[in-house]
Structure formats: structure tokens, C-alpha cells
Amino acid sequence: METLLLVQLFHELALKGKNRPFFLKRAKAHVRRALKGLGVALEGEWPMALLFRLPEEAWSEAKARLQDTLGVESFARVYRTPPDLEALKAALEKALEGQAFGSFRITAKRTDKAFPLTSPEIERALGAFVKGKTGAQVRLKGAEREFVVRVLPGAALLEVERHPGPGGLPPGVSGRVVALLSGGIDSPVAAYRLMRRGAEVVLVHFHPFPLLSGASREKAKALAERLARFQHRLRLHLVPFSEVQRHIIVEAPTAYRVVLYRRYMLRIAEAIAREEGALALCTGDSLGQVASQTLENLHAVNQAATLPVFRPLIGWDKQEIVAEAQRIGTYETSILPDEECCTLFAPKHPVTRARLEVVLETEARLPTEELLALALKEREVLTYTWPGKPKPLPEEPEGAFIMEHGPA
């Protein structure tokens, strides 16, 4: 009897028609990369599943990694036995060691039609065995434990521990997007939601250093490192924004500062998107959550962009966003204190219904092209890869300072 790892791919991948082989190939490559360095070996492959030989001591780390691996529907620790009822009973007996539960069910899936018992007969035989060993009751709905048996040609697999994966599509199958990353709770969640839909996300963070401390840069780095667990390879552009802000503060009506900040952020992000080959931008806006996210202000900000601006959280409330941030592991970093761009010289009473003519009149007095060029020239670009040693991404932007980061 061997211990193996069975990975089931997200059910949506089966619905992709003629493109299904492409999606499945990317999903399987993503799973293999997630398990890199754990001593796993591929034992079997089906259209929607992978079977790995896994050292017992690597199970905990494999579980932690697969829970963050997009494209995975579920995964299970399984025992492989000969296709024999007595061998399956022996495997079940081992699986029951140290276990206590009041109800259970057996689910049998017989793909080897030469096996002498039907699926219901397997379920009844193994169910009687478990009931005799534990005294637990069979319950087809709402059972505390479920044991899944797969009878294949030449072998049987018994699932003894199953966990859900995150679902979603594997990174990169839906193209590339540039996501604006603040130090707050919302923007990392927005970036993650697009990763889940198969977008390869490039992060852009605007910081006020040296006018303020470098705390927001450090938060952005920590958030990028966490988000890299989902995408495995991720680039973060750190853009100094203080010079843009100094000009806006001088020329703009005080109430319009934040709207103008955000318009310039979109312009810079769009320039980076062109370098990166991205076809859209992403922000963490939630309609009406703060003054800058009223419909009128979003309209005024959007007018500065020519690429589509995705807002995955536009209809979410704060509690929903916080819950998702906690689930994906970005919340604790996001709530650390920092000093970010949009709080620098923020007006006490910001405009909530920005008039586009006021915005455009103000920008006509600003050296927009010079400010954009300066911000792009002075940025840093950091590349994160996970797991394993960092590898450079292709097409690094000209003139940018490139640094490589991997897990400590």
C-alpha cells in the first residue's frame, strides 16, 4: 500500500471546448510548479486529475501549497492498493487509526468494469466493514466522514483525507492585467480576484518617499510576496509619486487633489501596461465606499485612461472585502500602519461630484508628460517567484532598476 496525492482540477476547465487542452496544460503545469522541491513524482494523469507519489513528510507543505494553487478544485491523500476488496479493507483499517466519528459514507467509482463487484456492492461491503470497526452509522447526506474508492485497471485508490482547492483558472490563460496596489485592504483582493479568472497580474504601487517614510513600499513588497503564491511569478513596479503630488498641490483646487492623484496614477499604470503587454488595468474601488469612489468621481478618474479599467470589487461591501482578505492571507499586512500617497496633503473635505471641466482646466497647467516620464524613470521593479529560486521575467522594461526576490 502506497500513499499518493490526487489533485482534481477545477470543473470549469472541462467546459472550455476546443481550447480545453490549452487550459488543462497550463493548469497541470501550475500544479507541478506548486509542488516543486517536495520530492513528488508524477504517477498518473487524466484529463481532469493528476496523481503524484509524495513523501509522507511532505504532505503538510503540499497541502498548504495546493490550498493556494489556482485551477485546483480539490486534492486528497490517497492509499493505492491492488484492485482487491480485502486490500481495500486493510487500507481502510489503516485510515481509521486514531479516527472518531459518528457517521460516514462510502462512495465507490468503478472505472474498471472487469472488477467483479459493482459500485453499489463495493459501497455496501466497505460500509459494513467500517461500521463493524467503528460503530458509526452510514449517512448518505451530511456524513462526518466520506471515504472515496476509485477502482482503476490494475489498482484501487482510497481517499483518506480530502481538502478543497481555491478553484479558479490557472494564471496567464486570460492575458495580462496591470493592477494598482495601495497599502490598503481592497486592492490586493481585487488583484487576487483577477488572478482567479486566469489573468496574469503585474502590480504597480505608488509611494510618497522621500516626502514620507518608506513604510508603504515595504507593505507593498510584503503584499506582492503573498500574492506571488497564487501566480508563482509576479512583478511589482514601485513608482515614486511625490513629484507629481507636489505639482498637483500647487495647481489644483484643494478638494480635487485625490481625483487628480488617481488620474495620474492611471496614466502611469497605463504606460507600464504598454511595456508589459497588458490589455487592462485593475483597481480596488468599491462604489460609494469613500469620497473618491462616488460614481461621478470614478467617471472623472476613468476619463484619463484609454485601456479598460476593471474594478472586481465594485459591488462588494467592506465586510465582504475584509473576509476575502483574511481568507487569502493579505489582511494582516494591509492593516499595518503606513503613509500612502492618497493621504499626503489629503483635503479635509474632498469633492464627491468632480466636474470634468475643472479637472481638465487644472491639468492644462501641469507638465503632464514630464511628470509621467520622471515617475517611470525613477521607479524600481522587483520580481517575485514562488516557490523555488527566483527567475527573471521576460521583456524587462527599459531603464528600470530590476531586483529579484524569492521566499526567504
77 is in an annotated binding site: no
Residue 231 marked as a ligand binder? no
Annotation-wise, does 180 bind a ligand? Answer: yes
Is 262 labelled a binding residue? yes
Query: Residue 257, annotated ligand binder?
Result: no
379 belongs to an annotated ligand binding site: no
| Location of C-alpha cell 467509482 | 109
Q: Is 266 annotated as a binding residue?
A: no
Question: How many whole angstroms separate alpha carbon 147 and alpha carbon 158?
Answer: 7
Cα dihedral 324, 326, 327, 330 sign: positive
Torsion of CA 356, 285, 11, 198, to 10 degrees: 70
Measured CA distances, 214 to 61, 315, 337, 404 (Å): 33, 32, 11, 19
Which residues sit in the known binding site for ATP? 180-181, 205-206, 262, 284, 293
Which residues sit in the known binding site? 180-181, 205-206, 262, 284, 293
